[in-house]
């Protein structure tokens, strides 16, 4: 959770957009995305190793925040890559756009999973806009 705290508070989610991290200088964007990916992988491994009755608590308190953070940063950085690749006339812009769409779907599935956990105990908790917002409603 220390790594998550550092990564999450590096910049508030509402202040992150595709232009925040450099794709070119010091591999900044790739390094940050790799940190999130590693945390998400660790969280998945822990979740899978837990007893069924303890998984919901871990999902709500650790797995969802970490994985949703990784998906969010992956979307933002992939949109930046897509924009760069398109400006360079690269065909790989198309596959990057498909990756972004896949991650939007993954974000939706995470929200559905959270909302249906424990027979919907926390339904609608994660329904507020969380990608592309600039202020709290």
- Residue 56 domain-assigned (yes or no): yes
Dist. CA 23–CA 80, nearest whole Å: 8
Domain that holds residue 55: 27-137
In degrees rounded to 5, what are phi and psi of residue 82?
A: -60, -45
Instruction: Answer whether residue 42 is part of any domain.
Output: yes
Domain CATH code at residue 58: 1.20.58.2150
Query: Could you give the CA distance from residue 44 to residue 7 in angstroms, rounded to a whole number?
Result: 17
Give a yes or no: residue 11 inside a domain. no
Q: Which two tokens stand for residue 52?
A: 């069924």
Q: Is the pLDDT of residue 137 over 80?
A: no
Q: Is residue 1 included in any domain, yes or no? A: no
pTM over 0.95: no
Which carries the bigger pLDDT value, residue 116 or residue 129?
A: 116
Q: pLDDT tens, 47-103?
A: 999 999 999 999 999 999 999 999 999 999 999 999 999 999 999 999 999 999 999
**10, part of any domain:** no
Question: Is 47 within a domain?
Answer: yes
Q: Residue 112: is its pLDDT beyond 90?
A: yes
Whether 128 is in a domain gets the answer yes
Q: Looking at the 3D structure of the chain, how many domains does it have?
A: 1
DSSP state of 120: T
Q: Give the integer Cα–Cα distance in Å for 64 and 44.
A: 10
The percentage of the chain sitting over the pLDDT mark of 70, rounded to a whole number, equals 96
Task: Indicate whether 17 belongs to any domain.
Answer: no
Sign of dihedral through CA atoms 112, 72, 77, 5? negative
């Amino acid at each position: 959770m220390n790594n998550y705290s550092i990564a999450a508070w590096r910049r508030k989610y509402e202040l992150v957009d595709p232009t925040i991290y450099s794709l070119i200088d010091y591999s900044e964007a790739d390094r940050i995305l790799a940190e999130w990916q590693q945390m998400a992988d660790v969280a998945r491994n822990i979740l899978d190793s837990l007893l069924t009755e303890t998984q919901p608590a871990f999902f709500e308190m650790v797995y969802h925040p970490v994985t949703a953070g990784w998906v969010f940063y992956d979307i933002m950085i992939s949109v930046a890559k897509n924009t760069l690749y398109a400006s360079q006339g690269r065909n790989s812009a198309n596959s990057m756009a498909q990756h972004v769409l896949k991650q939007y779907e993954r974000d939706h599935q995470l929200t559905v999973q959270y909302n249906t956990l424990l027979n919907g105990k926390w339904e609608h908790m994660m329904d507020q806009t969380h990608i592309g917002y600039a202020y709290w409603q």
